[in-house]
Every structure is written in C-alpha cells, then in structure tokens.
C-alpha cells in the first residue's frame, strides 16, 4: 500500500468519526505559520529591545 493509499484509507476512517482531515491539516499548517511569525517577532523584539537594554545595564 502506498503512502497516498494509506492516507486515503485513514481519511475515510476519520471521516466516519466526523473528522475533516483536510481542514485539520490546513489548521496545523496555519498554526505552524503563525508560530513562525510569532517567533520572528520575538527575535526582532529581542534584537531591538532586550539586547540593547542588557548592554546598557552592563555599562552601568
């Protein structure tokens, strides 16, 4: 059985349980992208705020 066939089989099983696997995958991908964006903003904040504040604190 190929990966695609296994997925199709699993999709049918989950469908009978009321789970939309395509929607679930989309949600995971959206969440993953949101986390990447959040991480990017955290890094920008760290570079622009945290590091300069630490450097200033160390000088004093």
Domain ranges in the chain are 3-59
The tokens describing 7, both together, are: 């997925």
pLDDT for the residue 18? 92
**Per-residue pLDDT tens digits for 1-59:** 898 899 899 999 999 999 999 998 888 888 888 888 878 878 877 887 788 878 887 88
Q: What is the pLDDT of residue 16?
A: 94
Residue with tokens 């990966």: 3
């Amino acid at each position: 059985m190929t990966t695609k066939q296994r997925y199709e089989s699993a999709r049918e099983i989950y469908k009978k349980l009321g789970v939309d696997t395509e929607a679930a995958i989309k949600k995971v991908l959206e969440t993953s992208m949101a986390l990447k964006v959040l991480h990017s903003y955290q890094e920008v904040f760290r570079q622009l705020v945290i590091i300069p504040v630490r450097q200033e604190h160390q000088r004093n």
